Amino acid sequence: MRILRPDTPLCTEDVRRKYRRAALRTHPDKGGSAETFQRVCDAHDVLQKAAGTSQAAERDYGALLRDFLMAAFASSTECRRAMESLASIAAGCKRAADSLAQGGFSQSALERVLAFLEKHAAALRVSTDDIKAVKDAFRVREADRAPPMYTLTASLEHIMEGQVYRLFHNGKEFMVPLWHEDMTFPSEDGDVTVRCKADLPPNTQIDEFNDLHVHMKATVNDILESGVLSVRLGARSERIQSDRLRVARRQVYRIRRRGPPRIDLQDVYRVSDRADVVVHLELC
């Protein structure tokens, strides 16, 4: 209506007359742009269909709405395709939701056309509840199509020993190195993501280099009497000779190459290169 400015009520002859005037002004051969001329053509097509009797327009409102919405997104091919599917929302949301599931549209295109429908719902006589139902249906379908992801819990013993977990997905076996935090494996239904969550004792943590940090307290008498400081690392222990420690309330001692396997992105199963054990000692 804003583009052609026709008289109301609509008349096919008046719409045609206003279209010819606008076409003369906007045609590329007359100095106009192709985009503006296309909008004039789309406006003519939509208004000509709306120029029939009100009863016929009511019966064909779904088709009229579809044509209008397609014209509204003439500049974006993907949005036009998405809107063509979504226009069935005028007849109920189920068809629209089914179209979304099979349409292969991008998230941005769908958000744009849904926002348009929601903003102009009253003028277009579209139920906001139906729009919400389409959004919910799309979210569910997107969740169903999300790449598979597994979360594994690895104990300190699993990590220190460089153990590998056998994961079965859709009949295929994947070998997951438990000292890696995240792994991705190719699969027929999309990349399989595996996250390894370390279940560590309260006084231990693993840093970004896979060095194992152990926080502990000990008395000077116990260390001097035994001659060693015993550091518990899961199922095994490391021993630090007392003469290697300093007489200081707080100190850090690094045991080289006795920690978990270092992460090697060239060979994810390599365990020969070991991280360090970093002991944070507080003398009591």
Q: Considering the domain 147-199 in this protein, what is its CATH number? A: 2.60.260.20
Amino acid at 43: A
Taking residue 214's Cβ as centre, other Cβ atoms within 10 Å add up to: 21
Give the contacts of 219 (CB within 8 A, at least 6 positions apart).
Answer: 283, 284
Give 10-residue mean pLDDT values along the chain (284 residues): 84 82 83 87 87 53 69 68 60 50 61 77 74 69 68 95 94 94 83 91 93 96 94 93 93 96 91 96 94
Report the distance separating Cα 92 and Cα 86, nearest Å.
10
For the chain, state the CA radius of gyration.
34
Q: Would you list the DSSP string of 30-92?
A: GT--HHHHHHHHHHHHHHHHHTS-HHHHHHTHHHHHHHHHHHHTTT-HHHHHHHHHHGGGGG-
Taking residue 198's Cβ as centre, other Cβ atoms within 10 Å add up to: 19
Please give the backbone phi and psi of residue 187, each rounded to the nearest 5 degrees, phi first.
Answer: -145, 165
Would you say the pTM of this structure is higher than 0.85? no
Q: What pLDDT does 160 receive?
A: 95
Where are the CATH 2.60.260.20 domain residues in the chain? 147-199, 201-284
Q: What pLDDT does 34 receive?
A: 86
CA atoms within 13 A of residue 86's CA, in its CB half-sphere: 33
Q: For residue 117, give the nearest of 82, 163, 157 by alpha carbon.
A: 82
Q: What pLDDT does 55 receive?
A: 40
Residue keyed to tokens 């056309």:
113
Q: Is the CATH number 2.60.260.20 carried by domain 201-284? A: yes
